[in-house]
Amino acid sequence: MKKLLLTGIAALFLWQPGAAHASNLIEMPKPLHGDWCWMEGGDGSDWKQQPLFRKPPGKGCKGGNITVDKSGWDSEGYFCRSDKIEQIGTNTWQINVICDPGDKDTDEDDHAIAMFELIDNNLTITWLSES
């Protein structure tokens, strides 16, 4: 299941390589910080739109999870960060995503644009395009 989830995350991106400098990175919005669980069935129906719910204290996630902090987010060893964040609504952000594919054969990062929308204790990540 974890391999399928990671494959799905990779399929979300139509990446192009590029390098980002650490000094250009922007902190993730504080309301997004925390542990998030993938909603079962959500990622299978539309790879470009990923619904998540806030992980309940003391419980695990059935289908995988991501952890968001000020430096970016981690999804089972696949780390993503941002070099540009624009708040486009009260709880909605458009984020230029830079992900480290974890491939030891390359030093290139992958890029995409995503919208993060927070409604109650649910987060939807919608992948808009490659950058």
Per-residue burial over 54-73, b if 16 or more Cβ lie within 10 Å, else e, is ebeeeeebebbbbebeeebb
Domain coverage including residue 63: 2-129
Prediction pTM value: 0.72
Number of domains in the chain: 1
- Rg (C-alpha) for the chain, rounded Å, is 14
Per-residue pLDDT reduced to its tens digit, 56-94 = 888 888 878 899 999 999 887 778 899 899 999 999 999
Angle made by CA atoms 17, 113, 91, in degrees to the nearest 5: 150
